[in-house]
Amino acid sequence: ALPFVFISGPCQIESREHAFKIASFLKAATDKAGIPFIFKGSYDKANRTSLSGQRGIGIDEGLKVLGEVRDEFGCPVLTDIHDIEQTRIAAKVVDIIQIPAFLSRQTDLLLAAGETGAVINVKKGQFLAPWDMANVASKIASTSNENILLCDRGTSFGYNTLVSDFRGLPIMSQTGYPVVFDATHSVQEPGGRGGSSGGKRDYATALARAALAVGAAAIFAEAHDDPDNAPSDGPNMLPLEWVEPFLADLKAIDEVAKSRKTGYGF
Amino acid sequence: ALPFVFISGPCQIESREHAFKIASFLKAATDKAGIPFIFKGSYDKANRTSLSGQRGIGIDEGLKVLGEVRDEFGCPVLTDIHDIEQTRIAAKVVDIIQIPAFLSRQTDLLLAAGETGAVINVKKGQFLAPWDMANVASKIASTSNENILLCDRGTSFGYNTLVSDFRGLPIMSQTGYPVVFDATHSVQEPGGRGGSSGGKRDYATALARAALAVGAAAIFAEAHDDPDNAPSDGPNMLPLEWVEPFLADLKAIDEVAKSRKTGYGF
Amino acid sequence: ALPFVFISGPCQIESREHAFKIASFLKAATDKAGIPFIFKGSYDKANRTSLSGQRGIGIDEGLKVLGEVRDEFGCPVLTDIHDIEQTRIAAKVVDIIQIPAFLSRQTDLLLAAGETGAVINVKKGQFLAPWDMANVASKIASTSNENILLCDRGTSFGYNTLVSDFRGLPIMSQTGYPVVFDATHSVQEPGGRGGSSGGKRDYATALARAALAVGAAAIFAEAHDDPDNAPSDGPNMLPLEWVEPFLADLKAIDEVAKSRKTGYGF
Amino acid sequence: ALPFVFISGPCQIESREHAFKIASFLKAATDKAGIPFIFKGSYDKANRTSLSGQRGIGIDEGLKVLGEVRDEFGCPVLTDIHDIEQTRIAAKVVDIIQIPAFLSRQTDLLLAAGETGAVINVKKGQFLAPWDMANVASKIASTSNENILLCDRGTSFGYNTLVSDFRGLPIMSQTGYPVVFDATHSVQEPGGRGGSSGGKRDYATALARAALAVGAAAIFAEAHDDPDNAPSDGPNMLPLEWVEPFLADLKAIDEVAKSRKTGYGF
Q: How close is the nearest chain D Cα to the Cα of B156, in Å?
A: 9
Alpha helices in chain B (DSSP H): 16-33, 59-73, 84-91, 107-116, 133-141, 168-173, 183-186, 201-214, 240-258
Here the ipTM equals: 0.97
**Whole-angstrom Cα distance, residue D69 to residue A5?**
47
**Whole-angstrom Cα distance, residue D144 to residue D126?**
26
Q: How close is the nearest chain C Cα to the Cα of A166, in Å?
A: 17
The reply to whether residue D135 touches residue C50, judged by beta carbons under 8 angstroms, is: yes
End-to-end Cα, chain A, rounded Å? 16
Q: Which residues contact A43 (CB under 8 A, 6 or more apart)?
A: A12, A13, A56, A57, A58, A59, A61, A62, A63, A66, A79
Cα angle vertex D10, ends D7, D12, to 5°? Answer: 120
Q: How close is the nearest chain D Cα to the Cα of C155, in Å?
A: 9
- Evaluate whether D76 touches D70 at the Cβ level (below 8 Å): yes
pTM of the predicted model as reported, rounded to 2 decimal places: 0.97
The reply to whether residue C106 touches residue D139, judged by beta carbons under 8 angstroms, is: no
The reply to whether residue C161 touches residue A159, judged by beta carbons under 8 angstroms, is: yes
- Evaluate whether C39 touches C75 at the Cβ level (below 8 Å): yes
3-class SS of residue A128: coil
Burial class (CB in 10 A: 0-12, 13-18, 19+), C115: middle
pLDDT at D101: 98
Checking A223-230 for CB contacts under 8 A at 24+ apart, the result is A223/A8, A223/A9, A223/A10, A223/A22, A223/A25, A223/A26, A224/A10, A224/A11, A224/A22, A225/A18, A225/A21, A225/A22, A225/A25, A227/A201, A230/A10, A230/A11, A230/A12
Best residue in B159, B162, B164 for a mutation probing chain D (most D CBs within 10 Å):
B159
What are the chain D neighbours of A207 within 8 Å (beta carbons)? Answer: 166-167, 214
- Evaluate whether B221 touches B39 at the Cβ level (below 8 Å): no
pLDDT at C208 over 80: yes
Region C121-126 average pLDDT: 98
**Whole-angstrom Cα distance, residue B182 to residue B221?**
6
Region C59-80 average pLDDT: 98
Q: Which residue of D has its CA nearest to C197?
A: D132
In one letter, which amino acid is D114?
A: G
State phi, psi for C148 to the nearest 5 degrees: -120, 135
What are the chain D neighbours of C191 within 8 Å (beta carbons)? Answer: 128-129, 131-132, 135
Q: Which residues contact C71 (CB under 8 A, 6 or more apart)?
A: none
Q: What is the pLDDT of residues D135-194, one digit of tens each?
A: 999 999 999 999 999 999 999 999 999 999 999 999 999 999 999 999 999 999 999 888
pLDDT at B3: 93
With cut-offs at 50, 70 and 90, classify the pLDDT of residue D1. confident
pLDDT in tens, chain A (266 residues): 789 999 999 999 999 999 999 999 999 999 999 999 999 999 999 999 999 989 999 999 999 999 999 999 999 999 999 999 999 999 999 999 999 999 999 999 999 999 999 999 999 999 999 999 999 999 999 999 999 999 999 999 999 999 999 999 999 999 999 999 999 999 999 998 888 888 899 999 999 999 999 999 999 999 999 999 999 999 999 999 999 999 999 999 999 999 999 999 99
Eight-state DSSP code of residue A111: H
Alpha helices in chain C (DSSP H): 16-33, 59-73, 84-91, 107-115, 133-141, 168-173, 183-186, 201-214, 240-258
Strands (E), chain D: 5-9, 37-40, 77-80, 96-99, 119-123, 148-152, 155-156, 162-163, 179-182, 188-189, 198-199, 218-224, 238-239
**Whole-angstrom Cα distance, residue A60 to residue C121?**
66
In one letter, which amino acid is B88?
A: R
pLDDT at C1: 75
Q: Which residues contact D176 (CB under 8 A, 6 or more apart)?
A: none
- Evaluate whether A130 touches A152 at the Cβ level (below 8 Å): yes
Q: Which residues contact B176 (CB under 8 A, 6 or more apart)?
A: none
Share of chain C above pLDDT 90, in %: 95
pLDDT at C39 over 90: yes
Element at D114 (helix H, strand E): helix D107-115
What are the chain B neighbours of C260 within 8 Å (beta carbons)? Answer: 209, 249
What are the chain C neighbours of A161 within 8 Å (beta carbons)? Answer: 158-159
What are the chain D neighbours of A165 within 8 Å (beta carbons)? Answer: 157, 163-164
Burial class (CB in 10 A: 0-12, 13-18, 19+), D31: middle
Chain D residues with CB within 8 Å of chain A CB: 155, 157, 163-167, 169-170, 187, 200-207, 209-215, 238, 241-243, 245-246, 248-249, 252-253, 256-257, 260-266
- Evaluate whether D210 touches A213 at the Cβ level (below 8 Å): yes
3-class SS of residue C264: coil
Q: What is the pLDDT of residues B190-208, one digit of tens each?
A: 998 888 888 899 999 999 9
pLDDT at A83: 95
Q: How close is the nearest chain C Cα to the Cα of B27, in Å?
A: 19
pLDDT at D189: 94
- Evaluate whether C92 touches C118 at the Cβ level (below 8 Å): no
Over its C-alpha atoms, chain B yields an Rg (Å, rounded) of 17
**Whole-angstrom Cα distance, residue D261 to residue D266?**
10
The reply to whether residue D161 touches residue B159, judged by beta carbons under 8 angstroms, is: yes
Closest by alpha carbon to B264, among C5, C10, C208?
C208
What's the mean per-residue pLDDT of chain D? 97
Region B57-86 average pLDDT: 97
The reply to whether residue C142 touches residue D105, judged by beta carbons under 8 angstroms, is: no
- Evaluate whether D166 touches B164 at the Cβ level (below 8 Å): no
User: Which neighbouring-strand residues pair with C76?
Assistant: none
Q: How close is the nearest chain D Cα to the Cα of C201, in Å?
A: 21
pLDDT at D99: 98
Q: What is the pLDDT of residues C137-167, one digit of tens each?
A: 999 999 999 999 999 999 999 999 999 999 9
Q: What is the pLDDT of residues D179-202, one digit of tens each?
A: 999 999 999 999 988 888 888 999
The reply to whether residue A107 touches residue B47, judged by beta carbons under 8 angstroms, is: yes
